[in-house]
Amino acid sequence: MNDDIRQHALLSISRTTPRAGVRVVACRGEIDDDTAGLLRDALRFDDGVSGVVVDLGAVTFLDSSGIHVLFAAHRDAVAAGGWLRIAAMTPAVHEVVQIVGLPTVIPCYPGLAQALNA
């Protein structure tokens, strides 16, 4: 399991690899125009990764910049033959995700374990 931590004043992101080919990108803080680039970089598929779970359980704010990054990462994952899943959204983030219809495109799960075992 590799740990990789990226930080910004409003967002910290840790990346772990709980099993071969699967990465968990856990976010804490706010995902907005100022921090979306950090998330974009963390979601790049590299090092033999075929699947990524984005853990949003500690995200307090998500705007259209973050939504765009998630859609783009999903598109790139599918194009590369991989997958992207979202897990553990806070109520505020869940509301935004529902409004934009993200679950119709990207599989969303109530918890990290469910997303990893889907």
Using one digit for the tens of pLDDT, what is the confidence trace for 14-73? 999 999 999 999 999 999 999 999 999 999 887 688 999 999 999 999 999 999 999 999
Class of domain 4-116: alpha beta
Would you kindly state where each structural domain of the chain is located, as residue ranges? Answer: 4-116
Distance of CA 93 to the CA centre of its chain: 12
Residue 6 has pLDDT above 80, yes or no: no
Alpha carbon distance 39, 26 (integer Å): 10
Phi and psi for 42 in degrees, rounded to 5?
Answer: -70, -25
pTM, 2 dp: 0.92
Query: What digits encode the pLDDT tens for the residues 79-108?
Result: 999 999 999 999 999 999 999 999 999 999
Are 65 and 94 contacting, i.e. CB atoms less than 8 angstroms apart? no
Please name the amino acid found at residue 41: D
Distance set, CA 44 to CA 38, 39, 49, 73, 84 (Å): 11, 9, 9, 7, 11
Phi, psi (rounded to 5 degrees) for 67? -60, -45
Please, are residues 73 and 105 in contact by the beta-carbon 8 Å criterion?
A: no
